[in-house]
Amino acid sequence: MGAAARPPHRRPGDVMTESVDLTREYAAAPHRLWTAWTTRDGLVRWWWRHWPGVTCDVDLRVGGHWRIEAPGQKIAVHGTYTRIDEPTDLGFTWIWSEDGIDGPVEHVEVTFAAHGDGTHLRVRHSGIADLDGMRAYEQGWAFTLTQLHDRLGEV
C-alpha cells in the first residue's frame, strides 16, 4: 500500500480537527444579513424556527457572550465573540450543549461579501473533533442557512 493510500498514523490521545466550510448567495445587502446574525431580534426570527420557545441572547462585542437555546429540545449553543468587523466579518467560539452538558470549544467564522445586489455568505466551522461531528455540522449548517434564506424577509 502506497503512502498516499494509508490512513494517517495516530497515537492515543491525538486530537483530530475537522472543519465545515459552506457558502451561500442571498438576495439581500450585507447589512441585512449582519443584523440577522448579530442581534437578538434578528436571530430569533430564523435560528431553530422549527422549534417553539427558542431564546437568543447577544452581547455583541469582542469578549461578549451569545447563546441560542431550545429549552423544549434540551439543547443550546453558546460562545464568545472573538472578531467583529461590521458588516463583513464575524468570529465566535461555539459550544454545543445538550441536556446541560457542554461539548468542546469550536470556532466559527462568518464572512459577508457584497456580490451584485446581494451577499455572498461564507461560514467556516473549525475545531470539530471527529468526522461524525463534521458530517452532523454539514447537515445542520445547510439546514440553518436554508432557514436564514427562507426567513430573511422577516429580519
DSSP 32-89: HHHHHHHSHHHHHTTTTTTSTT-EEEE--STT-EEEEEEGGGTEEEEEEEEEEETTTE
Quick check: 17 pLDDT over 80? no
User: What pLDDT is attached to residue 15?
Assistant: 52
User: What pLDDT is attached to residue 2?
Assistant: 39
Each residue of 58-90: pLDDT tens digit?
999 999 999 999 999 999 999 999 999 999 999
- Worst-scoring range by mean pLDDT, 52-56, 91-95, 121-125, 128-132? 128-132
What is the distance between the alpha carbons of residues 147 and 54, in angstroms, rounded to a whole number? 14
Kindly state the helix (H) or strand (E) to which residue 111 belongs, with its residue range.
strand 106-115
The residue-averaged pLDDT of 35-55 equals: 96
Quick check: 14 pLDDT over 60? no
The residue-averaged pLDDT of 44-58 equals: 96
Residue whose cell numbers read 498516499: 4
Domains of the chain: 17-154 (3.30.530.20)
Quick check: 10 pLDDT over 60? no
Q: Which three cell numbers stand for residue 78?
A: 453558546
DSSP state of 144: H
The residue-averaged pLDDT of 137-143 equals: 96
DSSP state of 140: H
Label residue 155 by pLDDT band (50, 70, 90).
low
